[in-house]
Amino acid sequence: MSAIAANSLYPAHLHSIKARADAALQKHGFDHLLVASGVEKLEFLDDRPYPFKTNAQFKAWLPLTHHASSWIAYTPGLKPVLVYYQPDDYWHVPPTQPEGAWVEHFDIRIISDPADAAKHLPTSGRRAIIGEPDAALPGFEPNNPKGLLDYLHYHRGYKTPYELAVMRLAQRRAVPGHLAARAAFKAGASEAQIHAAYLAATGQTDLDLPYSNIVCLNRNGATLHYQYKSNDVPSQHRSLLIDAGADVDGYASDITRTWGNGDARFESLVNAVENEQQALCGLVRAGTDYRDLHLECHLRLGNVLRTLEIVDMDPGQMLDAGVTSTFFPHGLGHPIGLQVHDVAGFTDEDGTLIPRPAGHPYLRMTRTLAPGMVVTIEPGIYFIPTLLAKLKATPHAKAVNWSNVEHLLPFGGVRIEDEVHCTEGAPENLTRDAFAALA
């Protein structure tokens, strides 16, 4: 789908956003919803700003992602007001004139001084004001009512057709980067060079990314959120694990791929995780408890460990004993959308916590899947020295083929991640479709 086609879906999306706001305001006794985009923050003892990130509840209304000190004011039954900050600035490039499919749907008030926003915000009635504390204006301090936010967050789990269209575009933007990263790895590049190839292929800078890319060569793949990108070229290119996304109009993509150098045992591991990942993607069905899918992932990865002669135990016993968590210590995935780890993965509409399974503290979603939800499916098997040392000190150590573990340690680990849309029927794999479209 093109950006033009996605824009045609925007009016219906805004109608859904207003309907959610109407219901939340009525349920919690408010007359107006005010949403601050956020403000630029300066580094401590410096005059340089940190990269600006828009309040997700602001960009849910319209695709403005670089617009600090702006506000949305919504009163049910009235056209939403957009207070649009456009400074007269010669130090930095100010925002352009408002343009896009959304413009006609807002009463736009342009200001050049952030303080002037207060002149355009409602002063009477009960106001739900959403934003960070530093976005406050005199008389307009964010109160972030918990019940109202719980409601809005919960319903963000269900993507509108417009949101799905933009998320497909975000996938298609990221895929060329992954293919370029693979080519750079095969050519013997450093992590920094692989990252640069990714950015060039996607047309992004570091500031455009929805999260900082994870680019891991060799053993670095065993660090789940490896934060560096070394300029050093290793003596051997054993493996590349790259977890990298793209942003389109405020919506994130999040894709992970792992590549090897032809080592038979590591390639077998990559292929086995890939096969189980695809099977798990096929289980993203309406009515499925995501917690059950996470536990199913542990059983499937336990079977991989047994089949590849890494651990000689029954997969169910591995799960019960916590052995699978040594090799797969994170959760199966998370909701995604306006945020990479999108909100309300753990709560119902009223904010009541839906607990994680015992012994699985890092699972990022516990809700039951329903049509419109988009989740990541990202199983992995890693060789993490600190976790392996703990396993080695237990009675279960005797079930581990430590020779195979030692062989695989220099490769770090394997993770494969796709984004999957839960529908009324068969799931839609946004990531695989994007790879197929490019091919």
Residue with tokens 């207060």: 118
Boundaries of domain holding 312: 161-438
**Number of domains the chain contains:** 2
Domain final position from 156, 180, 211: 156
CATH of the domain at 279: 3.90.230.10
User: Are 204 and 307 part of one and the same domain?
Assistant: yes
Please write the tens of the pLDDT for every residue from 223-278.
Answer: 999 999 999 999 999 999 999 999 999 999 999 999 999 999 999 999 999 999 99
Q: Where are the alpha helices (DSSP H) in 80-216?
A: 146-156, 161-186, 191-202
Give the chain's largest Cα–Cα span. Answer: 71
User: Are 256 and 134 part of one and the same domain?
Assistant: no
- The mean predicted confidence, pLDDT, of the chain is 97
Please write the tens of the pLDDT for every residue from 309-356.
Answer: 999 999 999 999 999 999 999 999 999 999 999 998 999 999 999 999
Please write the tens of the pLDDT for every residue from 277-304.
Answer: 999 999 999 999 999 999 999 999 999 9
Q: Would you state the pLDDT for residue 220?
A: 98
H or E element at residue 302: helix 290-307
User: Are 193 and 123 part of one and the same domain?
Assistant: no
User: Are 129 and 241 part of one and the same domain?
Assistant: no
Residue with tokens 């002037």: 116
The model's pTM is: 0.97
User: Are 51 and 196 part of one and the same domain?
Assistant: no
Q: Checking DSSP bridges between strand 255-260 and strand 251-252, what pairing results, if any?
A: unpaired
Residue with tokens 């900082």: 212
Rg of the chain taking only CA atoms, in angstroms: 23
Backbone angles phi, psi at 14, to 5 degrees: -60, -35
Q: Would you state the pLDDT for residue 2?
A: 72
The answer, yes or no, to whether residue 1 has pLDDT greater than 70, is no
User: Are 232 and 195 part of one and the same domain?
Assistant: yes
Backbone angles phi, psi at 421, to 5 degrees: -95, 120
Domain final position from 106, 140, 156: 156
The answer, yes or no, to whether residue 17 has pLDDT greater than 80, is yes
Q: Would you state the pLDDT for residue 5?
A: 80
User: Are 139 and 175 part of one and the same domain?
Assistant: no
CATH of the domain at 80: 3.40.350.10
Please write the tens of the pLDDT for every residue from 324-336.
Answer: 999 999 999 999 9
User: Are 372 and 234 part of one and the same domain?
Assistant: yes
CA distance 209 to 377: 20
Q: Name the region of 178 (left: φ>0; alpha: ψ -120 to 50; beta: rest).
A: alpha
Q: Decide: helix, strand or coil at residue 52.
A: coil
User: Are 71 and 176 part of one and the same domain?
Assistant: no
Structural tokens at position 336:
């995604």
Buried b (16+ CB within 10 A) or exposed e, 207-242: ebbbeebbbbbbbbbbbbebeebbeeeeeebbbbbb
Domain final position from 134, 156, 178: 156
User: Are 54 and 174 part of one and the same domain?
Assistant: no
User: Are 124 and 256 part of one and the same domain?
Assistant: no
- Nearest Cα residue to 35 out of 149, 118, 130: 130
User: Are 212 and 114 part of one and the same domain?
Assistant: no
